[in-house]
Amino acid sequence: MVRVEFDPMGSVEVPSDKYWGAQTQRALMNFNISGKRWDPEIIKSIILIKKASAEVNRDLGLLDSQKAELIIKAADHILMNWDVYSDNFPLDVFQTGSGTSTNMNVNEVISNLACELAGKEKGSRFIHPNDDVNKGQSSNDVIPTSIRIASYKMAVKLIYRIFDLIDSFKEKEKEFDGIIKTGRTHLMDATPVSFSQEFSGYRRQLELSVQRIESVFPRLRELAIGGTAVGTGINTHKDFGKLVSKKINEYMKNDIPFNLYPEFIESVNHFETQSCIDTFIEFMCSLKIYCLALMKITNDLRWMGSGPFGGIGELFLPELQPGSSIMPGKVNPVIPEAVGMACSYCIGLEYSLNIVNQYSNFELSTTFPLVGFAITDSINILCNLTDIVKDKLVIGLKPNLEKIEYAISYNPSVVTPLAKVLGYDRAYEIVKNALKEKISVKNYVLKHGILSQDQVDELLDLKKMI
């Protein structure tokens, strides 16, 4: 069953059970490209913008109060019944670079639902998608505004998850306290470190990742709304952007802790906010660095868990599933490998924004759909990945004390403190000879009378070395 909807280009047949209109239907026909839809958080943010705009236009005397109330009611109804209405937002992320099709998709759905709530038929345009729902707005300010709102909200959720991962590393620092192991540089044995010291480095990487993400918030919070077509604010009230931003803060107070993070504000300069994606690239870069931190940390754990006999084998990684279809008993480091692939994908999304940035020309960056997809897809992946690293890798790590003791006993780099007493060249000779005789440095210097037992105990005390 279909109904006929109209737009300035003419009539279009639309599925009768859907709330979208002619422009959405045209976009469905034009952009059957990837099957990737806009993230729900962005669509919900656009709906919030429509709700806030209706309230502000009503309060400014620019929109009939009955129409405003119907728009507000329709917006709330969609948000409160998302599972019912989510399939009314079907458009591909790859479309016109301003995201006009998606802005109109939301305008049309709210318009037709508001018409129904008023007892009118879908397509009657009693509530007009452009004149009423989109009043005082343009796709050029709505879409970047929605991406900023969604990105901010989702980033806060990611930060909470990273904090949980940080706590798991803190617990391991306590659990592994006092275990001294071989340090490694260039993948070769180096002077000793404690497990706690090593894990404190991982924990600090994660803490700095949070700080980097948070550092973008003062710029990410600047909303483009109020700039309309090119940043001049044509066809809208001079206070529209400021007032809508205040409404967004009211709506988002349960999702973003504004006692800790800055509130949304109207853009300091609409020409910058709408014409470039610098802040989005900066934000994606902070996510990229978090990806790189996860890759470094989990790859270290992968190396330390390698073996069990032919590798380093200092850690027992949680055994999650059989590792081979042909080798019985083999168990692989599946979580670090999944991290490597997922983070590489997110880093690729970050790089895509560097390339597409060339489509930021003059007064509008025609890149926003890809920007929105790259950010939301990355954050969704990183939220899940962070939980998995914590729950299925870090919490279950156990030290292989026997292997750790063996490696540290024969680590030639423990000779380093002897260089202060015997000189670098003599210490180097001791290492080479100890390796030839296949005994520890400690036993070599005692066997050949180079140092007394007291001197060995003093100079080769592992606790002093760390």
Supply the residues annotated as catalytic: 186, 324
* Distance separating alpha carbons of residues 450 and 427, to the nearest angstrom: 11
* Distance separating alpha carbons of residues 364 and 359, to the nearest angstrom: 9
* Distance separating alpha carbons of residues 87 and 19, to the nearest angstrom: 10
Q: What is the 3-state secondary structure (H, E, C) of 57-121?
A: HHHCCCCCHHHHHHHHHHHHHHHHCHHHHHHHCCCECCCCCCCHHHHHHHHHHHHHHHHHHCCCC
* Upstream peptide bond of 308 is cis (omega within 30 degrees of 0): yes
Other Cβ atoms closer than 10 A to 141: 32
* Distance separating alpha carbons of residues 112 and 104, to the nearest angstrom: 12
- Go through the chain and tell me how many residues it has: 466
| Tokens standing for residue 330 | 């083999």
* Distance separating alpha carbons of residues 172 and 397, to the nearest angstrom: 8
Helical packing angle, 240-252 and 139-175, nearest 10°: 30
Angle made by CA atoms 132, 124, 78, in degrees to the nearest 5: 60
* Distance separating alpha carbons of residues 250 and 247, to the nearest angstrom: 5
What b/e readout covers 236-257, taking b as 16+ CB neighbours within 10 angstroms? bbeebbebbbbbbbebbeeebe
Of the chain, the end-to-end C-alpha distance in Å amounts to: 75
Task: Answer whether 84's CB lies under 8 Å from 105's CB.
Answer: no
Which residues have C-beta within 8 Å of that of residue 131, sequence separation ≥ 6?
A: none
* Distance separating alpha carbons of residues 420 and 433, to the nearest angstrom: 19
Residue with tokens 């422009």: 23
